[in-house]
Amino acid sequence: HDHLITSKQLSRADIETVLDRAAEIDADPSAVANRHANSVLGLLFFEPSTRTKMSFETAMKRLGGSVVDMGSIESSSVKKGETLADTVRVTEGYVDALVLRHPKQGSAAMAGEFVDVPLLNAGDGAGHHPTQTLLDLYTIRENAGLDDLTIGIMGDLKYGRTVHSLAYALTNFDTRQHFISPESLQLPREVVFDLHQEGGGTQIREHDSLEEILPSLDVLYVTRIQRERFPDENEYQKIAGEYQIDLETLEDARDELTVMHPLPRVDEIAPEIDDTDHAAYFEQAHNGIPVRMALLDILLENNSDADTRGETDE
Ligand code: CP
């Protein structure tokens, strides 16, 4: 299967193939404007989304293809109790690839067992968000380079799926990863274990404050505290408001520091940073288009090759 479920499955070569294709598309989008004119992408979003959903839809349309959207849980037959397995089994018959966002960790891996068309995980609970990672890597490569990189990743590292996916993918490169969070929102221990196991060129450190590490950073990746994933609202209230950055926080940062955020932000980054050279988070969101175009282009091309091979064999 050509499914993309977690960033763990991506080698350095896979990542570079997608990023290089995205850079080509970024330079000349008109070259691929009709490449997938007969292809249809299915969107299955069981959780809210602005960027991921709209940029997948835009990416598919900019490749000449079209999109069908299940819509909300309320307006679909999920409301009548249809299972995820049945939903993907049915909808794969309508489309050439499926994009799935679901609140339950592991849902994309499970759904992938039931379908032959490429299934792209657009976020499974606190698990993974590998297409976000690809656009994050593209943004890092453009702004700071991916080798000899010192990155700080700050905020909700426990529930933040973008962080989990990014941390695994960065082990393919020569990076120093500094994780900054309150103790209660540290990376899950199994993720830390995995990151050490992955080894490669990466070094891992954990901190409870940004101050000591800020001056050495090339990139500071800030995340939202995932309120909706806290079992207890009181625990959220204890943490809310910590780990915010403003211009004063960044006084000791390098001039070249790139600040990223997967968005949506709530109050983690003061708007006064938006107009500085540090801010790359809107550019990051816009990079979702060339990166998702590149990914869809590669997967749809592979799949149509596979279809053709199937016909020849018969
Ligand atoms: N970054 C991200 O996944 O945003 P959305 O939830 O709006 O898709």
Is it the case that residue 136 has pLDDT exceeding 80?
yes
Q: Which tens digit of pLDDT belongs to each residue from 140-194?
A: 999 999 999 999 999 989 988 999 999 999 999 999 999 999 888 899 999 999 9
* Atom of ligand 1 minimally distant from the CA of 48: 6
pLDDT in tens, 218-244: 999 999 887 777 788 887 887 777 788
Instruction: State how far the Cα of 134 lies from the Cα of 140, in Å rounded to an integer.
Output: 10
Query: How high does pLDDT run on average in the chain?
Result: 93
Q: Is the pLDDT of residue 281 over 60?
A: yes
Domains, the chain: 7-128+287-304 (3.40.50.1370), 130-285 (3.40.50.1370)
Residue 311 has pLDDT above 80, yes or no: no
Region 277-300 average pLDDT:
98
Please give the average per-residue pLDDT across 50-67, as a whole number: 98
Residue 269 Cα to ligand 1 middle (Å) = 16
| Helix axis angle, 130-143 to 51-62, nearest 10° | 80
Residue 313 has pLDDT above 50, yes or no: no
3-class secondary-structure state, position 24: helix
Please give the number of the atom of ligand 1 that sits closest to the Cα of 122. Answer: 3
DSSP letter at 187 equals P
Percent of the chain, pLDDT > 70?
A: 96
Provide the pLDDT confidence category of residue 85 given band limits of 50, 70 and 90. Answer: very high
Model confidence at 312: pLDDT above 70: no
- What secondary structure does DSSP assign to 239-304, as a single string? HTT-S-B-TTGGGGS-TTPEEE--S--SSSB-GGGTTSTTB-HHHHHHTHHHHHHHHHHHHHHHHH
| Residue 303, pLDDT score | 77
Mean pLDDT throughout 120-137?
A: 97
Tokens representing 204 are 């891992």
Q: Residue 116 pLDDT > 80, yes or no?
A: yes
Element spanning 306, H or E: helix 288-313
Task: Return the minimum-mean-pLDDT range out of 70-84, 235-249, 275-289.
Answer: 235-249
* Residue 44 confidence (pLDDT): 98
Q: What is the pLDDT of residue 233?
A: 87
The ipTM of this complex is: 0.98
> Which residue owns the Cα nearest ligand 1 atom 1?
262
Q: Which residues contact 87 (CB under 8 A, 6 or more apart)?
A: 44, 70, 76, 77, 78
What distance in Å separates the CA atoms of residue 17 and residue 298, rounded to the nearest whole number? 9
Q: What angle do CA 264, 266, 268 make, to 5 degrees?
A: 105
Q: What is the mean pLDDT of residues 197-202?
A: 76
- CA distances in angstroms from 68 to 12, 60, 175, listed in the order given: 32, 11, 39
Residues sharing a CB contact under 8 Å with residue 131, sequence separation 6 or more, in sequence order: 4, 52, 56, 120, 121, 122, 288, 291, 292, 295
Q: Are 80 and 107 in contact (CB under 8 A)?
A: no
Catalytic residue flag (residue 80):
yes
The 10 Å Cβ neighbour count of residue 265 is 15
**Choice among 3, 36, 52, 176 that is catalytic:** 52
CA 261/CA 162 separation, integer angstroms: 10
Phi-psi region of 308 (alpha: psi -120 to 50; beta: other; left: phi over 0): alpha
CA of 49 to the centre of ligand 1 (A): 5
Nearest CA among 166, 45, 37 for reference residue 98: 45
